[in-house]
Structure 1
Amino acid sequence: MTVDPDQTSGLRFICPTCTFVHVVTEKIVEEVPLVKKKVDDVLGGDEAMAQAATTNLAQCPRCGHNEAYHFEMQTRSADEPATHFYKCVKCKLNWRE
């Protein structure tokens, strides 16, 4: 492969598999809008938390409120402790322990 001496400096795209090299000669700016991917709530959403029991033993990390919806689920192997899920009654923050 021969390299043009005028194109030896600057940025290059180099293929890690083959010997292809592309010298970047100009800056291309293209704005691409980012779209947040829609994700299903595997815990059941707001309806599941509305049916959950409330507890006064958990303090919200965001607003400090002492009442939260609470349920626990086995998310790991059976010999590991269950994961506790909380949702603040006041600010609706979700967290787990």
Structure 2
Amino acid sequence: MHFCPSCSNLLLVEPFAGQNSETCLVCQTCPYMYPISKPFVSRTILKSKEVDDVLGGEEAWANVDSIEVVCPKCQHDRAYFMQIQLRSADEPMTVFFRCCNKKCNHNWKEN
């Protein structure tokens, strides 16, 4: 994308009906025109944003209680749990579970 140096609006690619029938970058708001004499390509590779852990990472699970509930993955009978308010205050809290079996460590939320 290219922008007008005069008014900062987006420039459009349009054929120019002048003497040599070139293609031009044209501003729709002001009379700015820039003739395109050769193809040009520019590529910008965007850097990925680092993803934050919604549940607070491993530190959040350090001091939580456990409860008797069956893990849907390994069928272990105990899981750690924590409640987090994800929606507005008038909605109930969401309960997240993590299996107590160290080999499993499966996370799930209450339906």
Query: Is 1:92 matched up with 2:98?
Result: no
Q: Which has the higher contact order (CA 8 A, sep 6+)?
A: 1
> How far off its partner does 1:38 sit?
5.2
TM-score (norm. length: structure 1): 0.55
Instruction: Give distance in 2, aligned partners of 1:39 and 1:89.
Output: 25
1:60 alignment counterpart? 71
Greater Cα radius of gyration, structure 1 or 2:
2
RMSD across aligned positions (CA): 2.0
Aligned residues between the structures: 62
Q: Which consecutive aligned stretches of 4+ in structure 1 deviate over 3 angstroms post-superposition?
A: none
Structure 1 CA distance for aligned equivalents of residues 56 and 100 of structure 2: 17
Please list every run of 5 or more consecutive structure 1 residues that lacks an aligned counterpart in the other structure. 1-36
Q: Which ranges in structure 2 are unaligned for 5 or more consecutive residues?
A: 1-48
State the Cα distance separating 1:68 from its structure 2 match: 0.8
For normalisation by structure 2, the TM-score amounts to 0.49
